[in-house]
Amino acid sequence: MKNILFTITLMFSAVFVWAGPYSDRHLPRFSYADEWIDEKGRTQRVERNFSSLEELQTACQNGDFRACQLLSGHYAHNNQPQKASVARNQMVELYQKDCAKNNIHTCELLARYYDTHHQKQKALDLYKKICHSGNDGGCMKLSTYYSMQKDKTNTLYYQKREMEIMCRKGDPTACLLWNEMKKLTPNDVKFDVKP
């Protein structure tokens, strides 16, 4: 009788551990959260949890580029470079489609991807699109890039554009800077010279 009681207690303990509140079985295996400011100045947030690799794969196949990014990272971490490459290519393709619809946040993600994968001209073209759409972050990237290239004309142009956008969004400091920058010419631009 003691053995039966012990076995039953052991079984209930195992079930509690497997399905209980302290088990990580109920936690998502994969998740993402993405937050950004849209072109109207509103905070946008998207968040999603996936409980299995299969669920993540399905989301990627159904056009969720963030799921493809997670999937690519998962495969890369688990030494499956071919699968990682397929997921990454699918992610880039989805970025491109969404960016073509003028989703500026996705264009930024794609530009960053190009930037980190040594496709500088593609990144610059996208940052120009982003900047001219009214996003000061794209202008800042361009002014920084041209500053590093010692290109006075483009550095000044994109710095002015960045301050103009920020001013129009209501930043009083940016308005002061923009008004002062309007008086400058490319010859007034000085680059830091390291000793």
The residues spanned by each domain of the chain are: 28-101, 124-189
Rounded (5°) CA angle 185-190-193: 165
pLDDT at 1: 52
Residue whose C-alpha is closest to residue 117's, from 89, 77, 83: 89
CB 138 within 8 A of CB 127: yes
Measure the CA–CA gap between 137 and 42, rounded to whole angstroms: 15
pLDDT at 139: 94
Residue whose C-alpha is closest to residue 144's, from 180, 97, 111, 183: 111
Residue position matching structure tokens 């990682």? 84
pLDDT at 145: 93
pLDDT at 71: 86
195 residues of the chain, pLDDT tens digit each: 555 544 444 444 444 444 444 444 444 578 888 887 776 777 888 888 888 889 888 988 888 888 888 888 888 888 988 988 898 899 899 999 989 988 888 999 999 999 998 999 999 999 999 999 988 999 999 999 999 999 999 999 999 999 999 999 899 999 999 999 999 888 888 877 565
pLDDT at 107: 92
CB 131 within 8 A of CB 143: no
pLDDT at 18: 41
Residue position matching structure tokens 């012990």? 6
pLDDT at 8: 44
pLDDT at 113: 92
Measure the CA–CA gap between 123 and 150, rounded to whole angstroms: 19
| Dihedral angle over CA of 126, 127, 129, 133, nearest 10 | 140
